[in-house]
Amino acid sequence: MIKTVHIKTKEQTAFYNITSYVRQAVIESGVNEGIAVVFCPHTTAGITINENADPDVVCDLSLALNKTFPDRPQFRHAEGNSHAHMKSTCIGCSETVIVSDNRLLLGTWQGIYFVECDGPRDRTFYIKVMRG
Amino acid sequence: MIKTVHIKTKEQTAFYNITSYVRQAVIESGVNEGIAVVFCPHTTAGITINENADPDVVCDLSLALNKTFPDRPQFRHAEGNSHAHMKSTCIGCSETVIVSDNRLLLGTWQGIYFVECDGPRDRTFYIKVMRG
Amino acid sequence: MIKTVHIKTKEQTAFYNITSYVRQAVIESGVNEGIAVVFCPHTTAGITINENADPDVVCDLSLALNKTFPDRPQFRHAEGNSHAHMKSTCIGCSETVIVSDNRLLLGTWQGIYFVECDGPRDRTFYIKVMRG
């Protein structure tokens, strides 16, 4: 019922398209009508939904994340990655997508992304498909 | 089980109160206990919950979105709306509300909003009510 | 099925670890497999998931929230707390966590937080555990 996926990220801040994993989990679940919850168990990464067509969009989003949520001299956390924790909280660590007719009810241009904010690292995410 | 709603937005950045559509979908569903998921299938818009009383609040929120997530000269996406994609990712494209006694369990001052970040456009959103 | 929790916040901007309340609600629900939805019915507060180990992280997050989403002279809302409404919309007012084997499927370093953005105040949040 819960699918666990492992990925290796290669950049400090980057978007990884994980839509195919979620689509596959929906098919395997056999759930026709319900929801799919994608959950990131890390505190310096997140899950978002954004454009799947032009790769410049997620490139611009990485730049905007770094500009909007910079490292700050007043930060006290010794690991030095409080900016990544802030990105995680503003992106959010999960997405809930409607499942209809055993398919994700996404818009034409939508893809589901794992957002790395403090890479490169070995990362994990969970997919749960619920009937209802 | 899934309700699809179409709206026309009139501004570049603006908040549209969609609470009555969600409330109606809950009534029509006949679900007494469960959740309602509101999902936006666009990548330059989002769904949020905020104050329903003083219209100055959502006016201030539009201004804050434009100030916090501006267009940037380094953006590469040819459509020129990467700032709207960034707003969408930080607002989020869905909300999940608890349903109790066939009603949305919202706070007194809470309304559900469709947030346009790259209008005016014809837009759609989905409402799914799940029993449980 | 829905648990209501009341807390008193003591700061203007601060993070309150509410993981133990959610964990207890899951145990009381008897739900082995499903989801837990944590919902904040206020428009100047939110729910997030972030680091539970070093208290400097949430201290840095409070600072980053105040720097990223400041009060602005153009704001019109007479209560003067539009910055707190903006923080609420970017943090989000709910979190959905997967429940597996009657436990929250959180990462090792993840805690669930009630985020006060306009305190001190008396606050409430809801926890709903759904089987599925």
C64 touches chain A (CB under 8 A): yes
Mapped to the 3 state alphabet, what secondary structure does B83-106 carry? HHHHHHHHHCCEEEEEEECCEECC
For residues C44 and B110, the answer to whether their CB atoms sit within 8 Å is no
Tell me the per-residue pLDDT of B42-65, one tens digit each, with 9 for 90 and over.
999 999 999 999 999 999 999 999
> What is the spatial distance between Cα B65 and Cα C51, in angstroms, rounded to a whole number?
26
Opening angle at CA C21, ends B94 and B22, nearest 5: 25
Cβ-based neighbours of B92, under 8 Å, separated by 6 or more: A48, A92, A95, B46, B47, B48, C92
Q: Tell me how close the Cα of A58 comes to any Cα of chain B, in angstroms.
A: 9
Interface partners of B (3+ CB pairs, < 8 Å)?
Answer: A, C
> What is the spatial distance between Cα B119 and Cα B66, in angstroms, rounded to a whole number?
13
B66 touches chain C (CB under 8 A): no
- Residue B1 pLDDT class (50, 70, 90 cuts): confident
Q: Which of B60, B67, B109, B116 to mutate to test the interface with C (most CBs of C within 10 A)?
A: B60
> How many contiguous H segments (helices) and E segments (strands) does chain A have?
3, 8
Phi-psi sector, A111: left (phi>0), alpha (psi -120 to 50), beta: beta
Instruction: Kindly report the average pLDDT of chain B as a whole number.
Output: 98
Instruction: Kindly report the average pLDDT of chain A as a whole number.
Output: 98
B121 touches chain A (CB under 8 A): no
Cβ-based neighbours of C20, under 8 Å, separated by 6 or more: none
Query: In 3D, which of A83, A106, C89, C70 has the Cα closest to residue B117?
Result: C89
- Residue C1 pLDDT class (50, 70, 90 cuts): confident
User: How confident is the model at residue A36, as a pLDDT?
Assistant: 98
Residue-level length of chain A: 132
Q: Tell me how close the Cα of A79 comes to any Cα of chain B, in angstroms.
A: 24
Cβ-based contacts of C93 with chain A (< 8 Å): none
Tell me the per-residue pLDDT of B5-45, one tens digit each, with 9 for 90 and over.
999 999 999 999 999 999 999 999 999 999 999 999 999 99
* CA-based nearest residue in chain C for residue B55: C77
Q: Which residues pair with B14 in a beta bridge?
A: B116
User: How confident is the model at residue A85, as a pLDDT?
Assistant: 98
- The mean pLDDT value for C4-21 works out to 98
Which of A41, A82, A132 faces C60 most closely, judged by CB atoms? A82
Looking up tokens 């019922």, which residue turns up?
Answer: A1
CB-defined contacts A:C, below 8 A: 95
Residue C111 has pLDDT above 90, yes or no: yes
> What is the spatial distance between Cα C122 and Cα C120, in angstroms, rounded to a whole number?
7
Cβ-based neighbours of A56, under 8 Å, separated by 6 or more: B76, B77, B78, B82
Tell me the per-residue pLDDT of A22-64, one tens digit each, with 9 for 90 and over.
999 999 999 999 999 999 999 999 999 999 999 999 999 999 9
User: Which helix (H) or strand (E) element contains residue A54?
Assistant: none
Q: Which of A17, A58, A61 to mutate to test the interface with B (most CBs of B within 10 A)?
A: A61
Q: Which of C13, C19, C50 to mutate to test the interface with A (most CBs of A within 10 A)?
A: C50
Q: Tell me how close the Cα of C107 comes to any Cα of chain B, in angstroms.
A: 22
